[in-house]
Amino acid sequence: MNSFKNSLAIDFGTTNTLAGVWVDQKVELLKLDPFSEDHSLFRTLLYFPHSEKAFYGAEAILQYIENEAEGRLFRSFKTHLSNPQYLGTAIGNRILPIEHMVGLFLLEVKKRAEKITGKPLLKALIGKPARYSMDPIKEGLALHRMKKAAEYAGFQEFIFVPEPFAAAWNLRSHIKSEKLVLIGDFGGGTSDFTLMRLNPRTFKKEDVLSIQGLPKAGDSLDSVFMKNRLNFHFGAQSQYRLPLGSNVLKMPPAILDKLNLPAWIVHLKEKETFEFIKTVQKCSLSPESRKSIDQLIVLVEDQRIFSFFEEIEKTKRILSKELQTSFIFDEPGIQVREDFKRTDFEIWAEPVVSEIFQVMDEMMIQAQVKPEDIDLICLTGGTAQAPLIRQALEKRFDQSKLQTTQAFHSVISGLTQALELWETQGDFLN
């Protein structure tokens, strides 16, 4: 039996994480999370009820609810890797750097994988986005932090493989002749593209014509609901005047930026920021402003952030199928109701979608490939299911070339198959 017994493939995602091993020339996906509906999907969530205890995945949500939202729940923390201003966070009296936060999560993946396989897993092939950042310095910082995280998790050897390449490699087993393929991987935090000559028999580095991407995807689409309509309910337009001051002030952009983004809003609870929000509450100039800040304090202090953004995610999914829906969030201290039309969402999302596909268009120009040259276009990732993503592709390519793969499993399947490449060719993309 050829199992590369000490090697593990990990698709560490903004929203979900998956792992696999290569056994007898087959992909074996590991059931990391017994609490999730699909046991192979391990939600990329960390919950600390206090500084000495952490819960992961779907269990993090259950414990968070059971503990009445006490403690800290982190989602989308992968997106902080490229941010030099984000050093980490405080959990009680414990300082947790971002590389240790990611490392803790990868260590939990490693422990669960070892329990399932019954053997030590010392080598890891870890997926990475095509671009953590468009800034090369920030890109380098993210990779440095990921290396530190992998070391923290206890892996003795590891390499990082672009996720869109993995999706392309998974497609290799489904073709019979060489094809020029374009892979679009649209996840929670990044949108990635690979342009590759795919051959079912052999692999050469030269077959990869280009790998590009940018750090915008599902979370960016979620944020447009908050930015364009919902943040009004949480003080975005509040006005206040400081004691002994004469100027009428508005909520600072630094607060609004955190309020609008799924990965950042949890950090409104950090001491200095939260004290400032309380000051704005006391100094509000109208009952409406005070009420909206009251709701923001409940959202942050009572840890309703996760459930609120889950409702936004649900709204986005509904608008992918329906023309309109109502957003209703009615909990003690927070009452929000807004009606949304799909056309609203598409207008708000258009700048994000344009930026995503500008990267793809530029990649094809640089590779001197025309749309008609492409034989097959493969879409993967949860955000690939959004109609506006498919519409953008249909404007550029013959619809008959579009193919949607398993939303969550194509990348991990490709990464796991690439374990064999790693074994035979070393770091095969470098």
List pLDDT tens digits, range 85-97: 888 888 888 889 9
The pLDDT assigned to 55 comes to 96
- Tell me: the pLDDT tens digits for 360-407? 999 999 999 999 999 999 888 878 878 888 889 999 998 888 876 655
Q: Please give the model's pTM, rounded to 2 decimal places.
A: 0.83
120: tokens are: 């030590």
Q: Is 316 helix (H, G, I), strand (E, B) or coil?
A: helix
Could you say which DSSP state residue 179 is in? E
The pLDDT assigned to 324 comes to 95
> What are the backbone dihedrals phi and psi of residue 160, each rounded to the nearest 5 degrees, phi first?
-115, 130
Quote the percentage of the chain above a pLDDT of 70: 97
- Tell me: the pLDDT tens digits for 257-305? 889 988 888 788 888 899 999 999 999 999 999 999 999 999 988 668 8
Q: Is 150 helix (H, G, I), strand (E, B) or coil?
A: helix
Q: Break the chain into its structural domains and give their ranges.
A: 7-175+406-425, 224-322
The yes-or-no verdict on residue 144 having pLDDT over 60 is yes
Binning pLDDT at 50, 70 and 90, where does residue 3 land? very low
Question: Residues 6 or more apart from 406 whose CB is under 8 A from it?
Answer: 380, 413
Q: Is 8 helix (H, G, I), strand (E, B) or coil?
A: strand
Which of these, 155, 153, 131, lies nearest to 143 by C-alpha position? 131
Gap between the Cα atoms of 172 and 178, Å rounded: 9
Binning pLDDT at 50, 70 and 90, where does residue 164 land? confident
The pLDDT assigned to 30 comes to 97
- Tell me: the pLDDT tens digits for 31-50? 999 999 999 999 999 999 98
> What are the backbone dihedrals phi and psi of residue 64, each rounded to the nearest 5 degrees, phi first?
-60, -45
**What single letter denotes the amino acid at residue 393?**
L
Could you say which DSSP state residue 122 is in? -
Gap between the Cα atoms of 142 and 421, Å rounded: 25
Gap between the Cα atoms of 262 and 218, Å rounded: 10
> Are residues 195 and 162 in contact, defined by beta-carbon separation less than 8 angstroms?
no
Pick the CATH number of 7-175+406-425 from 3.30.420.40, 3.40.50.150, 3.60.60.10, 3.40.50.300: 3.30.420.40
